[in-house]
A and B are shown apart, each in its own frame.
Chain A
Amino acid sequence: MPALRYAMIDVVVLFFLLGVFARLVKSDLRLPEALYETLSIYLLLAIGLKGGIELSKQPLAALAPQVAACMALGFAIPFLLYPVGRALRLGGADAAALAAHYGSVSVVTYAVASAALAREGIAHESHAALWVAVMEAPGLVAGILLARWSARRAAAGGGAGEGARSGWGTLAHDVLFGKSVLLLLGGLAIGAVAGEAGTAPIQAVFIDPFKGVLALFLLELGLVAGGRLAEVRRFGAAVLVIGLGAPPLLALAGGAVGVGLGLSTGGVALLATLAASASYIAAPTAMRIAVPQANAALSITAALGITFPFNIVVGIPLYIALAQRWTAA
C-alpha cells in the first residue's frame, strides 16, 4: 500500500496498534511476564551492542561534547515543563514528577525511530545508543530537585514522608545500576571491546532479529498503553495538553541541540525523538520512590497512554521531516 509507505508507518507500529486494539476490545491477549522481561533485556542489550560496535571505530574524546549536550538537554527539559504543569493547575509534586518523565527518555521510542531511519535509508551516528544511556538519569534528578523545591516552598513543615527524604545515594544506585542503564552501557562496553569481528558470532541473535523482537515488545506495550487510554478521562485536560503538546515542542529543542552539535540528518532526528520521548519504565519507578506524594497514574497516563503512541505513530515521521529540513543546505 503506497499510502502507508508515504505516511512512514513502520511495520512495528502496526503491532503496537494491534496491541491497543486488543486491549480496547477487551481481548484476553496477554504476554507472559517472563517474556516481557526477556524482550526488554534483549532490546536494551541489542541497542547497546549495536552502538558499541560503532563506538569501537572512533575516538572516545570526540564524543564528550555530545554526551555533555545530551545530559544538559535531559536536565533542562523538566525545568521547561514544570511551569507548564503548574499553569495547568497540577500540584507541585505532580508537575515535577510528570516533568521528570519527559526529561528522561524512552528506549523503545528511540528503537522505533532508528528503525524508521534505517527503513528510509537515512544515515545516523551509529553510537547514538550512548545518548540514550546518558539521557536517562539527568531528567530524573531535575524532577526530584523540582519536587523538593516545590515542597519546601509550599510549607516549611508538612508530611513529606520518609520517601521524600531518602538519600541521593539510593537514587543514584538505582538509576546507574538499574536494569536499563546497566544493560545499555554494558552492551555498549561489550560492543566497543569486542568490535565488529568479536561480535560477529552473536550477530544472528542480537543484531538480525532485532526488529522482530521490537515488534513483539510493541504488541505488549500496545496492550499496556491501551489500558491507560481509559484513564485519560480521569485526569482531564492537563494530561492531554502535556501529552500531545510537549513532544513536538521538545523535539524542536532536541533538534536544535542536534543541529548545534553538527549531527547528521538521522542524528538530529534521533535527538529530537529522544527529547520528545517520555520514560515509562525508569521514571515511574524512580519517582515513586523519590516523590511518593505525586500521583503516579497521572504521569504514566501522559507518558505511556498519550505521548508514546503519539510519538511512534505521528511524532517520529514529523521529527524525521524536521531533521531533513534543518540539515538540508
Chain B
Amino acid sequence: MTLAKFPKTLLVIVAEAAIEKKLVHDVRERGAQGWTLTEVSGAGRGSVREGAWEADRTIELKVICDEAVADAIAAHVLATYAPHYSVAMYFSAVAVLRPERF
C-alpha cells in the first residue's frame, strides 16, 4: 500500500531567542497554521552562540506550509530581522499526509 502524499515546503528559521515571540507572530500572520520550536546551540560565521545563559539563547523554528507562504515569511524575516539579528533560514521539500493541516 502506498500512502497518498502531498508536497509542502519546510522552512527552518534559526534565530536569536530575543525575537522568538515576534517570529511566531509573523509566521502565523502570514498564513502558517502551525510551527515547532526548539532551543538549539551552535556557531555561524559571525559568532558562537552556545546559549550559556538566558540572554544568549538560540531557537530553531520549523514551519511546514505552502511554498508561497514560506517565501512570504522568509522575505519578511530577511527584510525585518536579518539586518540586526543573527538569523539563518533554509527550505526543503517535504511530503505530508494531511495537506489541509498545513
Contact = CB atoms under 8 A, between A and B. Distances in A.
Interface in A270-329: 280-281, 284-285, 288-289, 292-293, 296-297, 300
B52 A227 contact: yes
Nearest to A179: B54
B42 interface: no
Contacts of A37: 54
- Residues of A contacting B: mostly: helix
A227 B49 CA distance: 12
B36 interface: no
B52 A223 contact: yes
Given A159-B83, A163-B84, A292-B85, A281 B55 contact: yes
Interface in A157-188: 159, 161-163, 166
Interface in B43-63: 47, 50-56
A296 B53 CA distance: 14
Nearest to B39: A33
Contact of A162 (B52, B54, B80): B80
B83 A289 contact: no
B2 to A, nearest CB: 42
Given A36-B53, A224-B52, A161 B80 contact: yes
Contacts of A159: 83
Nearest to B16: A288
Interface residues of B, number: 18
Between B39, B50, B81, B84, the greatest number of chain A beta carbons within 10 A of the residue's beta carbon is seen for B84
B10 interface: no
B80 A285 contact: no
A288 B80 contact: no
Contacts of A33: 39, 51
Contacts of A163: 19, 81, 84
Contact of A284 (B19, B52, B55, B84): B55
Nearest to B50: A227
B73 to A, nearest CB: 15
Contacts of A40: 54
B80 to A, nearest CB: 5
B89 interface: no
A300 B80 contact: no
Interface in A11-49: 33, 36-37, 40
B78 interface: no
A224 B53 contact: yes
Q: Can you list the 10 inter-chain pairs with the closest CB atoms, starting with the nearest?
A: A292-B84, A284-B55, A288-B18, A224-B52, A162-B80, A224-B53, A293-B84, A285-B55, A161-B84, A161-B83
Interface of B: 16, 18-19, 22, 39, 47, 50-56, 80-81, 83-85
Given A224-B52, A284-B55, 4 more contacts: A161-B84, A163-B84, A221-B53, A288-B85
Interface of A: 33, 36-37, 40, 159, 161-163, 166, 220-221, 223-224, 227, 280-281, 284-285, 288-289, 292-293, 296-297, 300
